[in-house]
Structure 1
């Protein structure tokens, strides 16, 4: 089932179609860059009318029964719960009845709290009054999050009680706009009214990485098969853009083996606590001083953007195809233990193009996205290869959106993929790109900005 978010549709469809006959239920418009190939790869493509979407689980079940589906899967965060419930109704392998625990940040944190797992202090909030009360009881600064959001959407930093009302209003406005754009939970009614506020813990990348430039959090990519968690690898990050918008993911993360093992152990306990059954997983962990760690969140699906293609390039694992095989009941040889940088064949990373410089400051002049200019005018390391993910990017000639801290990744201009000899090179090349983009991209004309 296709909806917005997740890995590029072209990538997951090609890998799925290589293992099975595919019937696509499209709840979001197919990206123009892959619409043609999607229809060639799929035995059927159905886009239901709005009137048939009110009971999403029944819609999925009916379509699955109509085509005789042996497995149902999605790679979109916004459809995870609906697909899991449909699989339960159909008697098919899936994330299981606990899928909402890996989707609703309030339930997730309560579950981890019961298991004594390390995470920031938090409070669920449903009204502005709840937020005021939480701000009085939690040590600041605080981060307000929409409980069902993704991509850092609607995040608001609250540094003093005087900022509570404005933060609440802004988050609610952003969630409403995200829903209009199709970036919203598809199954749970009124999910945009649910929030959680949590203490902002202090990360320290320098205690974990040997060189500067890395962000202070990582993600553990993995899969749950028959209820058993299989960690695959770790991905590192560049520092986020305020408040916490992700700029770049890099595979593998350059961590010492003992540090990687401790991170994986926390991820394993986090995933096990949620009780997931058959699904991809993506667990983000904040890294602190003196070996301290805090769970950020776990998803019952593979990492979005280019995480899955990066793993395939670097470690030679087609995670999409492997998960399809598992859901169809075929034996799969999951990694016996988490893969390390020593086992990597080079490195790969994905960069979200945002209209901010390396220090998070807005570009002084509006720019037009033009990948041809980027590839022609920016010199990267010898052997590095840069490409643009067309289905996740604006067309050349489009005005780059102004970065909106509250909207997060909703204001991205493009998604780029870079392959290089090692992770250090990917990190340095991304730093070069971020610094050079406002210089090499053409300036937008006044008439373009006003449109």
Structure 2
């Protein structure tokens, strides 16, 4: 039987989903760079041939640690689904001579290099400036139109994103973003291999997005993501996912599969994603490309990741299109034949629809809840009236325990202040969008009130490191609609 070394870190699809699919294809050894979620700890030790957590001193050379463990277990493939371990795993695969994302993996992590690469190819994207110091931020603020978006070059889940409305706001934004990156590292949401990644930033023009001309009904966000895979250097788009509008500044709230784009518009979106992925030169990996939608058919690239989308993107695709992307990627990395979709799958090929919702203490208008609430998954499932045929579940490993106080939403912290992750399946994408809107409106009313003085526990594993939330959109007043990466 073939052997796979799975490198686990925070972010990405739920570990339970990944392990069950990978273990069905090969003997799995788990190298856990982050603590296993309590909800899957027991099952992981049953599904895996071994579970190893390296000591802190062993992480100074993460690539060597991965190579050593892979050699010890005789791994035929090494992979990760976490944004924060992508570069280290890709480099380890190069050393081992195994299939992987390749030497270009860093281009799909470092937003500065990614944008430089796309700029050299003339691909559409927001105007940008790389910044590594406060002085460089001032230079960028003087050269770009305001408002502009400051974000970490290596972050995920919309953490450390701030809108700078004038050059005078640059110093405060710089200090706060650096603070958030330090806080994220303490929570385990930080690049694991590249030294001083927390000091690398990029500032971008905020482009104005719109859903007009793209979607036939209201409620959709003004960006989409193309889910796919690169196999032997060839990009295979799988499907396009839609979004609800982001929460200010650009924190992702929900992803929905499939996006209800007309076929001709889907083709245009996929064609741009193909150009973006091809430009990066990836070799063997999942991909997740986010694209901003503008007026008159205009589009801007937000980012591409060398891994599958996070949150429940992978389970959504499996439910809607009956494709086990985890198992298919494992087979490909092991050298087995895999039949990828001949063309991008859309609403016509979908069997129903599915979506994932990040629970944030913000209502449908983007305003903070008036009072503190306690998370209770049973109340949510019982008290919120959804459409006939819809099924709502809560993802335990990405959610607070019942009885926990819902964190106050921090715009700079992004998905770090989430309370839970919900999965909903329904008859079609319109129903998912409608039910999510109902759920968002109902949560601050149906959840039990928190006791005075109660303190929230640490936020659960943020799923959007996954979905690397997209980047730059709409106008500053009112709260812009869009996404951030």
Tell me the TM-score normalized by structure 2.
0.92
Distance 2:420 2:222 in 1: 24
Is 1:153 paired with 2:159? yes
- Name the residue aligned to 1:245: 251
* Alignment deviations for residues 47-70 of structure 1 (CA, whole Å, 9 cap, x no partner): 111011110000000000000000
Distance 1:360 1:400 in 2: 16
1:203 aligned residue (189, 205, 209):
209
Is 1:305 paired with 2:299? no
2:366 aligned residue (348, 356, 360):
360
Is 1:50 paired with 2:39? no
**Distance of aligned partners of 1:432 and 1:450 in 2 relative to their CA distance in 1, 3 Å threshold:** closer
Is 1:92 paired with 2:98? yes
- Name the residue aligned to 2:466: none
Where do residues 16-415 of structure 1 align in structure 2 (5 Å cutoff)?
16-415=22-421
* Alignment deviations for residues 164-203 of structure 1 (CA, whole Å, 9 cap, x no partner): 1111111000000000000000000010000000000000
SS at match of 1:107: helix
SS at match of 2:358: strand
* Alignment deviations for residues 12-70 of structure 1 (CA, whole Å, 9 cap, x no partner): 00000000000000000000000000000000000111011110000000000000000
Cα offset, 1:141, TM superposition: 1.4
Distance 1:27 1:289 in 2: 43
* Alignment deviations for residues 310-358 of structure 1 (CA, whole Å, 9 cap, x no partner): 0000000000000000000000000011001100000000000000000
In the alignment of these two chains, the number of paired residues is 451
Distance 1:50 1:126 in 2: 27
Distance 1:177 1:450 in 2: 16
Structure 1 moving runs of 4+ over 3 Å: none
Cα offset, 1:140, TM superposition: 1.9
* Alignment deviations for residues 241-269 of structure 1 (CA, whole Å, 9 cap, x no partner): 00000000000000000000000000000
- Name the residue aligned to 2:474: none
SS at match of 2:154: coil
Asked if 1 retains the 8 angstrom alpha-carbon contact of 2:45 and 2:51, the reply is yes
SS at match of 2:216: coil
* Alignment deviations for residues 353-380 of structure 1 (CA, whole Å, 9 cap, x no partner): 0000001100010000001111111100
Cα offset, 1:396, TM superposition: 0.3
Distance 1:93 1:41 in 2: 23
Cα offset, 1:449, TM superposition: 3.3
Gaps of 5+ in 2: 1-6, 458-485
Distance 2:361 2:279 in 1: 39
Asked if 2 retains the 8 angstrom alpha-carbon contact of 1:23 and 1:42, the reply is yes
C-alpha RMSD of the superposition = 0.7
Asked if 2 retains the 8 angstrom alpha-carbon contact of 1:399 and 1:449, the reply is yes
Distance 1:34 1:194 in 2: 34
Asked if 1 retains the 8 angstrom alpha-carbon contact of 2:399 and 2:419, the reply is yes
Distance 1:438 1:252 in 2: 28
Gaps of 5+ in 1: none
Distance 1:376 1:68 in 2: 48
SS at match of 1:72: strand
Asked if 2 retains the 8 angstrom alpha-carbon contact of 1:146 and 1:194, the reply is yes
- Name the residue aligned to 1:12: 18
Distance 1:371 1:27 in 2: 29
Q: Structure with the greater relative contact order (CA < 8 A, sep ≥ 6): 1 or 2? A: 2
Distance 1:207 1:356 in 2: 28
Distance 1:69 1:377 in 2: 48
* Alignment deviations for residues 397-433 of structure 1 (CA, whole Å, 9 cap, x no partner): 0000000000000000000000000000000000000
* Alignment deviations for residues 76-131 of structure 1 (CA, whole Å, 9 cap, x no partner): 00000000000000000000000000000000000000000000000000011111
Asked if 2 retains the 8 angstrom alpha-carbon contact of 1:80 and 1:99, the reply is yes
SS at match of 1:149: coil
Cα offset, 1:450, TM superposition: 8.0
Asked if 2 retains the 8 angstrom alpha-carbon contact of 1:366 and 1:449, the reply is no
Distance 2:211 2:20 in 1: 37
Distance 2:147 2:327 in 1: 43
